[in-house]
Structures are given as structure tokens and as C-alpha cells.
Amino acid sequence: MKSLLRRVILFGLRRPVLAAVLSLLALALAALPLLTASFSADITRMLPSGSESERACAVLLNSGLFNQSAVLFTADTEERLDAASSEIDTIANKITSVPGVTRVDNRFLPDDLPATLASFQEWIPQFQPFSGLDAAGIVSAAKRKILLGGFASLVLADPTGFAASKLAVLEQFRSASSFHLKDGETAIVAPDGLHRLLLLETDVSAADTAGGRKLMDDLEAILAAHPLSGIRAELLLAHAHSIENERVIKSDVKLACILSVLFFVPAILLLFRRDLRALAIPVFPAAVSLAAAGLLAIPGEPVLLFVTATGGLVIGLAVDYGVHVYMTMQTPCPVRRLVRIAPSLLTGAATSSAVFLLFALTPIPGVRQFGVFIGISLLASLLLTLLLFPSILIRTKAPLPKPHQLKTFSPKLACGICFGLMALFAVLAILRLNIRTDLRQFDAAQEKLSETADAVERLFLDGPAQGVLAVHGTDADTALQHAESVCASLTGKDPELAESIFSPTFLIPTKAEREANLTSWRASFNFDAFAKSLRAAAEDEGFEPDAFDPFLASLQRGIEAPDLNANPDVFAPVLNRVLRPAADGNGWYAAVFLPESALSLAEGLPPEIETVPISRADIPAQIVSDMKSAATLPVVLAIFSVFAIAFLFFRSVRDSLCAMIPVAMALLTVCAVYALLGKPLNLAAEISLVLLSGLAIDYGVFVNGSERSANPYVFRAISASALTTAAGGLTIAFAGHPLLHEAGFALIPGVLAAWGAAALLLPSIRRGFVKRVSSAPLKSFLLALIPAFLPFTTACHSLPYEYDPVPPLTETEWPLYRDKVQPPAEPMKPFAFQGKVTFEYKFFKQATLCAVSYDESGELRVAAFSPSGGKIFELSGTADALADFWFMPIDVLDGHEKEAAGFILADFFHIFGSLAPWRGVKTGATENVKDDSKIIRREPFGDDGGELVSVFWGSKLPVMGKYYFKNETIDWQSWYFRYIVKDAVIFPEIIVYDNYKHGYRLILTVSDLFEDSES
């Protein structure tokens, strides 16, 4: 390897022009695919491939079932909206002609109902088998309906009642989808009468940023051309997320370029004493990162914009190599010295690159692309720097900088203790670290767009959350057949579902059924005879003989010239949204609506039927769960691989461990900074941790190597490297995109810590080793460092669920919400539920079942069962006293059953107690404090001087969490992650309770909430 590197360096020195030309050609060739590459800002590329959440999001984007494109009109008054009805119709017509818009649904039901009902009759022969038509009976029933007050026009248009029965299915859809409209309206108007929707159907994929932007521009132009007095029009496009993300990232790329120039140029001129040749240092990685971006496009996948935006980071990392080459070239015998240090540089670069290339093993496409991009860039930057930079530097030498020996602080013991204490402090801080893996935090458009989406949901959706089962088929008819099988299977498992389920097959039959029905009509029905008898019967009952002729004409058309591929127009607004071709052209999807709680019944369906459950409530949780497992792997792999590569280089465990010290300090510092700032560690920060591992091991390797070879310039080299890397971090820390901002933010403290550990601590430890193996500084540092790794082995104490972000409270909102979070005046209402409790203690986890009830007398009853069905314990009592208890006879509890029962009862009162006030709260002594988006309520609690702190998230009432604070420590805390709304009762559904006093956690999931205390 040394010989190869020597040849590269000498080739660059002997034939600089040829080397430059060849390099330029190679870089240009690599960058060429960028000309035809497609770029994407699709945040779902950060989801693990093949995961449930990725499948669900892919269906959300591609199935067309969840097209959120709409125009929302908001009026000041109902009258104003009514008056603008025809103008909105005009806008709807104009939008129909916009390229990319395939359909605009302006009305849920047609205005001309009699005509709709009449035309509907032609579908009778396709939609139902022939079972006889009694002409006299039809006429007589029609007469009865008219006499009873029915509209004659409607009755005559639909004398059999067939159309009315089919239209009633739409009501089932409305009920199953929780979609609510203003009564008596045919337009899509919210129940409040102030909002109206135009639903748009487009063939532009939500992930198609360019197409989406064009669509948005066209729609905005139409809305601008038709201003409505007193009415606000807002666009709600599924494409807006990718458009907004792309806009933010493009602006970030520009910002990163500007900041790179602003930070790197002065830093380099400062470090290298105004030697302009040093400005070439960042040019090599910049050119390489451009070429590496081109390589990303070769597999044909879209290049992620937020990956390319990390080019500044590449420069920040790879300028290290230029710095080392520059410093070495200023020494006597520079080439010989450069050849000597080149293997160290290559080891450092290979280590970092290997760490990043390991990302290729992760299931997350975005992370894979990021890893490959940085990995290739770093290694290629080093080679290019070694090839071209020495020839620039060899011609004239700058004044030799003053050698700077690495500091060995005296006494060395103090240095070890100092860093050891820092590490210990970091560990203590990390114990409070939270981890947040929800990917939606990196959607730059989330906050901006969620407001309108939430408004539509709030206005038009009501009732319990509905789940959707996206059922796939190779064509529309197969999707329908599959949906039919799915419905049969689901209702077979739970017959009660029949009332709350909706499938497109409720609207239209499959093609095979249509053909069979039609055949039965053609075989058994004599149209002429029926028409004759119907006219005669009409005349007998006092109707005009031709009163039913429109019905007859429609029926005849349906028998003689049916279109088996068409569907009734009146179904189109619904049918086009529940039976859709996949946007990627891969078959069709049928949407089966059902309660979210019933989605689990879809398990065990025949494997040939592909279904994807979509739950608005569960997708975020699924993302968190998928990301947790996928995001942990890179960090673990990074730590092991840097150690393995350091070991391969040094062939000494001792030296490898020493080289790992900057890595440990960097990781600990970043985690501690996040913990101290109260920020949860997220995916971007985890990526930075991996990046820091690769970077800090470089410092460790260099310092260890310099201690061996007594290189006098290593202090200056790693200081320059840390400075430029921090500058690289700064270029993206100011980015508007949360993913880039977080990655840059995490990098800066980590780099500083790694530099400190490498430049100050490591020499003390190394020299301690030289003197005697069991050096005091090492001992003291390691002693403090050992507990530092405990959090990584036991995992940080993070909450297993996450909250959706809530915008900060405005000054006008604050007074409104401040008063809402006072302790309720009413006593706690009776409740009863069954659910699951997962008991966690250190590495132990156990799920159990439970039944809990609270009655009006203030008595709480709790029973727990093993999933094998056996009862573990049962207890009851009030907040003041334990009344009764029973434990399964188990030796380990022998004699302590009462104490255990008391603890459990207290835990359950902590969890549910102050959701409504209970006697421990001293009301009237509360203090509410605004904290960004949260409202913190503090109140004295109990008689031992403790304080109960309740946390509310702005408008997202009720309480999100509470904790009991006494003597500066938290005894227990309880967080509520989801609420059930049932019969106007709001009750927590997922609760995470930590008892810090005894170190255990209960995760409670309510599955069945009952109306009274009878559980």
C-alpha cells in the first residue's frame, strides 16, 4: 500500500499536467450522469425499505386512494358562501381543463335528482339478478308513495326503489369514512356551512415535484383570476410536501455554498498565513463531491437533494487531508515525509469511508445514498489531494510554521480526572436524553401545511378514526374481487363489522357478477310484455299511460345496450376515490373502510390477496418503530468498525483503545448537549454521531501515530482539521431543512470534544503508557469513562412513543389556553377499561392483561392476568387506603403482598388520579407557565412538600404528561400518548408510566373502554 501511495504522489509530482488532465477527465465522466439524473426531496426515502411504514407510505403516495388535492373555500358567513355557489362552480369548470387534473368533484350528489334516478334504472340488469318484475305492484306502490307525500317526479323516476337503495350505500360510505356534510346540500359543504371543498383528481404523482409545481401554479392562476368577495381559497395539494421540501433544500444548497466560501476562505487564509495556494485545499473535495453525486445517479434511482446538500460537510471533513499534506510539504524532505505519513492518512480516510459505506447495509434508501456519497467522496478526495496538491506546493515553500508539540498537561493526573469528570457529567446528563425517531420532524413542509390539512379534517370528518385496507389487484375487476373476499373474511371474523365497513363492491358488482345478472335478465325477462302491462296498470291506477316511459326506456337501454365497463355517474365522486389505478401503473387498489381497531383482523387473509393496512393513528407509531430498529444499526456498526479498522492499523488493543477515546468523548458530548438542551436525539443527529465516529478516530489515529513518530505538526494539523470540520458543520447548521440543520448542529460540539480529547487528553494518556502501563491519568479517566458507556448498553431512557409536533403558542392563544388547564372542578368520573400492561425493569419486559374500574365511591379496582389466562393479582382501594387484595401464591412475594398491592394501587392512582382532580391536589394554588408550545401547570401535591407538574401542549388538550417532583428529583412520571374519544368521553389510550423510585416502567394500552364502571 505504501508503495502504491508513493507512486501516486511521485506521478503527481513528475507529471503534474497529465495528472491534472486525467483527474479532470475522470471527475467529469463521473459527474456526467447528473445531466440526466432525476432529483427528489421525498422524505419517505428515509423510511426503511420493506418496512410496514414504507409500504403504507408507498400506498399512500401511489395508490391514489389518499389524494389530498383539494381547494378549500372559507367564507365569513353562510350567506356569502351560498351566494358564491355559481362562481365556485365556474372555478370548478375552469380547473377541469388544467393539465394534470383528471377530474373535479364539486358536488356529492347531483342537483337534478329525478334525472339521476331515472338514468340509474339502466343499471338494474347489471347490478342485480332478475327475480321478476310485477308491473301492477310497481304502479300500485308508486301511487301509494305519491299519496303519502312522496315527490311524484322522484317516484316515477325510480318506481322500483332500486336507485334509492343504491344511493343509500353512499350514506354507508359517509358513515364508514366519517365524512360529514351539511344537511340538504348537494355541494361538498362542511356542516358549519362556512366551508366548501372542490376535490381534485390528478394523474401527477405526489412525489413528482416538477409536475406538482406546475399543477400548483396553474391552479393558483385560476384562483387568482376568480377572486371571491369575503371568501378565502386555499390549495391543499399532496404535492405541496415535496415542493416545499425541494424549495427549502435548494435554498439550503445555495446557503451552504455561500457559507462555505465565507467560512473556509478566511479560515484557510488565517491558518496558512495568507498563502493563497492553501485555497486549493477545499477545491479537491468540492470537485470530488460533485463527481460522487453523479455516481449516485448511475443506478437510476433519484438523487436525494438533502444528500447532495451535505457537500459542505464533505468539504469540511476532507479538507483535513489537504491540511495534512500542506503541513507536511512545509517540512524538510517533504516528499519523503509525505510518503511516510500517507499510509496514516489512507488509514484514516479508509476508516471514515468504511464507516460511511457501511450505511449501504442499512435498509433506509436515503441513509444508504448518504453513506455512499460521503464514503466515496472522502476516499477520492484524499487520493486527488495526494495526486495534485504536492505539485502545487513543491515549487515554492511558505515560511515554515512553528512546530507545536502536543500538550501534556501537568500534572497529567489532573488532565485525566478533568476529562473523566466531564465524561461522567455527560453520562449523568444522558440519563435524561430522549430519542425521537419520527421521520415527520424532517418534513420541512409539515408545519406549514398541516394547518390546512387539519382544518379540512376538523371540518369534514367526525367520529372515530377510520382505518383503510388498501386491497391490490392486477386490474380494477380483480381489485374488486379481492375487496369482496376481504369483506367476507372480515365480517366472518367479526359479524358486527358489517355495520361499519364499506367497500367499493357495495357500490358496484364485479364484472363476472354483472355478466351473470345481465344474462339472467336477457333469459327470463320479456321487456315488451312488461312494458305493455306497466302502461296498462298505470292507466288503471289513474296515471298517464306513458308516465313510466322514462323508466322503461332506461331499463330497455340497460338490457339491450349495456356498457359493462361503465359506472353510474352519481357514484363517481366516491368510486373514483375508493377504486383507483396505482400511480406507478402497477395494478389497481380498492379501499375498504373499517374501524381502525379492526385492521388487525386483516392478518391471516389469503396470501394471494395483497392488502396494506393504513391507519392515520398507527402510521406515525409504525414509522417510529421501524426507524428505531433501522437507525440503531449504523451507530453500532460505526463504533465497532472504527475500532476494528484502528486495530488492523495498530495491531495493538492498547493503541486502538487509545485511538477510540476521542470517539467516545465526541459521542458522549453530543448526547449530553442534546440532553441538556432538552432536545431529543433524532435520525439526523444519529447520522452525525456516525460521522463523528469516523472523524474522531482519525484524530485518535494521528495523535497515536505522532506519539510513535514524534511528528511536531500534528497538533496544528488536527486543530486545523477540527476548525474546518466545524466550519463544514456550520454551513449546514444554518440550513432551513430540519434534517440538514440537525446534522450540522450535532456535529459542532462533537468535533470540539473530539479535538479536546485528541489534543489534550490522549497525549497525557499515551505518555503515561510509555512510562508505565498502569498510568494514573489513564486509570482515572477510564474509571470515569466506564460508566459513560452504560447508557449505550442499557439504552437511553427514551419514551417508546412520540408526540406530533405542535406549533408554539402565540401571545393571543396563551391567555385562552392558560385558563383551560386549571384543575377541573368536578370529581373524577367513574370509568372502566380492559387493556394491556407491559412491565419493564432493566432488561426485563413482560406483557400482561388488565381490567381496571373506578366507581363513584372513589374505589379503584385493578386485576392483572398473564396472557395464559391466569390471574396474577387483584386489588381494590381508594386514594387513601388499600381495601382488598389477592396475589397468586408465589414464594417471592411471600409476606410482602400487601406492600406490593399498595405500590400498584398508588401507581394506578398516579396515572389516572389527576386527569380529574382527586383529593391529593390542593386546588387554588396552581401556577401555569408558558413554555414554547407547552403550558406547564405546577401545583402542590400531597402533604410531603412535593409538587405535581402537568404538561399541556397548546391546543392539544387534555394533558400530555405529568410528573411528581420532590426534593429536586422526579419520583414518578406519566405520559399520555393517545386519547380515545367515546361517547363524549375523552380517555387516555396509551400511557407510559415511570416509577423512578423503584426503577420500573409500565406501558398501559387501553383496548376496551366501557361506558360505566362495569368492566
Partner 1 sequence: MTFWPAVRILTAVLLSVCASFAFAGEDAAQTGPKPQEAEVKVSELDTAELLANIANFKTLRTKFVQTKHLKAFKKPMVLNGELCLDRPGKRFAWHVEKPLKYSCVIANGKLTQWDADSDKTVSVPFSKYPMLEMLSDAMTAFASGDVKALEKDFEAAAGKDGTVVLKPRSEHFAASLITEVELTLDESKTKIVKVRASEKNGDVTELVYTDSVFDSDIPDALWQAKQKK
Largest alpha-carbon pair distance within the chain? Answer: 121
- In the complex with partner 1, the residue whose CB is nearer, 474 or 1007, is 1007
Cα–Cα distance, 71 to 200 (Å, whole number)? 8
Query: Min. distance of Cβ 1008 from partner 1 in angstroms?
Result: 8
Query: Min. distance of Cβ 633 from partner 1 in angstroms?
Result: 16
Rule CB under 8 A: choose which of 710, 770, 881, 892 binds partner 1: 892
Our finding on whether 795 is near partner 1 (CB under 8 A) is no
Residue 354 backbone phi and psi in degrees, to 5? -60, -40
Rule CB under 8 A: choose which of 455, 796, 893, 916 binds partner 1: 893
Of residues 182-201, those binding partner 1 (CB under 8 A): none
Interface stretch with partner 1, choices 249-257, 457-465, 650-658, 858-866 (CB under 8 A): 858-866
Q: Which DSSP symbol is given to 857?
A: T
Query: Min. distance of Cβ 628 from partner 1 in angstroms?
Result: 11
Our finding on whether 851 is near partner 1 (CB under 8 A) is yes
- In the complex with partner 1, the residue whose CB is nearer, 653 or 890, is 890
Beta carbons within 8 Å of 555's beta carbon, 6+ residues apart:
121, 122, 124, 125, 527
Rule CB under 8 A: choose which of 300, 870, 924, 945 binds partner 1: 870
E runs forming strands in 283-355: 303-304
| CA angle, residues 469, 591, 72, in degrees to nearest 5 | 115
Cα–Cα distance, 373 to 356 (Å, whole number)? 8
Our finding on whether 934 is near partner 1 (CB under 8 A) is no
Interface stretch with partner 1, choices 614-622, 639-647, 667-675, 862-870 (CB under 8 A): 862-870
Are the CB atoms for 332 and 395 separated by under 8 Å?
no
Our finding on whether 1010 is near partner 1 (CB under 8 A) is yes
Rule CB under 8 A: choose which of 107, 174, 448, 871 binds partner 1: 871
Coil, strand or helix at 543? coil
Rule CB under 8 A: choose which of 264, 781, 865, 941 binds partner 1: 865
Residue 579 is placed in which grid cell?
377504486
Query: Min. distance of Cβ 44 from partner 1 in angstroms?
Result: 22
Site string for partner 1, 59-98 (x = CB under 8 A): ----------------------------------------
Our finding on whether 922 is near partner 1 (CB under 8 A) is no
- In the complex with partner 1, the residue whose CB is nearer, 51 or 385, is 51
Are the CB atoms for 671 and 681 separated by under 8 Å?
yes
Our finding on whether 904 is near partner 1 (CB under 8 A) is yes
Are the CB atoms for 797 and 970 separated by under 8 Å?
no
- In the complex with partner 1, the residue whose CB is nearer, 500 or 576, is 500
Interface stretch with partner 1, choices 227-235, 368-376, 886-894, 956-964 (CB under 8 A): 886-894
Are the CB atoms for 681 and 440 separated by under 8 Å?
no
Our finding on whether 149 is near partner 1 (CB under 8 A) is no
Cα–Cα distance, 650 to 267 (Å, whole number)? 32
Cα–Cα distance, 19 to 379 (Å, whole number)? 17
Q: How far is CA 597 from CA 158, 483, 593, 765, 775, in A?
A: 38, 19, 12, 59, 62
- In the complex with partner 1, the residue whose CB is nearer, 366 or 835, is 835
Query: Min. distance of Cβ 591 from partner 1 in angstroms?
Result: 24
- In the complex with partner 1, the residue whose CB is nearer, 640 or 841, is 841
Interface stretch with partner 1, choices 366-374, 701-709, 870-878, 972-980 (CB under 8 A): 870-878
Rule CB under 8 A: choose which of 49, 77, 794, 866 binds partner 1: 866
Our finding on whether 1008 is near partner 1 (CB under 8 A) is yes
Query: Min. distance of Cβ 836 from partner 1 in angstroms?
Result: 5
Query: Min. distance of Cβ 852 from partner 1 in angstroms?
Result: 9
- Which residue carries 364485479 as its cell? 510
Of residues 988-1007, those binding partner 1 (CB under 8 A): 995, 998-1000, 1003, 1005, 1007
Residue 325 is placed in which grid cell?
499534506
- In the complex with partner 1, the residue whose CB is nearer, 79 or 1008, is 1008
Our finding on whether 878 is near partner 1 (CB under 8 A) is no
| Alpha-helical segments (H) within 124-235 | 124-127, 135-147, 152-157, 162-177, 209-225
- In the complex with partner 1, the residue whose CB is nearer, 273 or 896, is 896
Query: Min. distance of Cβ 865 from partner 1 in angstroms?
Result: 7
Our finding on whether 164 is near partner 1 (CB under 8 A) is no
Which sign, positive or negative, has the C-alpha torsion 909, 912, 916, 921?
positive
Long-range contacts of 535-539 (CB under 8 A, 24+ apart): 536/135, 537/135, 537/136, 537/138, 537/139, 537/140, 538/139
Cα–Cα distance, 886 to 106 (Å, whole number)? 63
- In the complex with partner 1, the residue whose CB is nearer, 168 or 985, is 985
Site string for partner 1, 808-847 (x = CB under 8 A): ------------------------x-xxx-xxxx--xxxx
Cα–Cα distance, 761 to 707 (Å, whole number)? 13
Query: Min. distance of Cβ 909 from partner 1 in angstroms?
Result: 16
Our finding on whether 613 is near partner 1 (CB under 8 A) is no
Nearest to 420 by CA among 670, 784, 667, 790: 784
Of residues 706-725, those binding partner 1 (CB under 8 A): none
Burial of 611 (0-12, 13-18, 19+ CB in 10 A): buried
- Which residue carries 489537504 as its cell? 322
Rule CB under 8 A: choose which of 886, 918, 965, 987 binds partner 1: 886
- In the complex with partner 1, the residue whose CB is nearer, 461 or 497, is 497
Our finding on whether 857 is near partner 1 (CB under 8 A) is no
Residue 116 is placed in which grid cell?
339521476
Our finding on whether 856 is near partner 1 (CB under 8 A) is no
Our finding on whether 630 is near partner 1 (CB under 8 A) is no
Of residues 732-771, those binding partner 1 (CB under 8 A): none
Coil, strand or helix at 796? coil
Our finding on whether 890 is near partner 1 (CB under 8 A) is yes
Burial 168-201 (b: 16+ CB within 10 A, else e): ebbebbebbbbbebbeebebbbbeebbbbbbbbb
| Dihedral in degrees, nearest 10, Cα atoms 480, 483, 484, 489 | 160
Are the CB atoms for 135 and 530 separated by under 8 Å?
yes
Site string for partner 1, 955-994 (x = CB under 8 A): ----------------------------------------
Query: Min. distance of Cβ 832 from partner 1 in angstroms?
Result: 7
Rule CB under 8 A: choose which of 228, 552, 888, 970 binds partner 1: 888
Beta carbons within 8 Å of 24's beta carbon, 6+ residues apart:
none
Of residues 288-317, those binding partner 1 (CB under 8 A): none
Nearest to 349 by CA among 617, 648, 694: 694
Our finding on whether 903 is near partner 1 (CB under 8 A) is yes
Long-range contacts of 776-783 (CB under 8 A, 24+ apart): 776/412, 776/413, 776/416, 777/412, 777/413, 777/415, 777/416, 777/417, 778/416, 779/416, 780/413, 780/416, 780/417, 780/420, 781/416, 781/417, 781/419, 781/420, 781/423, 781/661, 782/420, 783/420
- Site residue total, partner 1 (CB under 8 A): 54
What does the binding site for partner 1 look like in residue numbers (CB under 8 A)? 600, 832, 834-836, 838-841, 844-849, 851, 853, 861, 863, 865-874, 876, 886-893, 896, 899-900, 903-904, 995, 998-1000, 1003, 1005, 1007-1008, 1010, 1014-1015
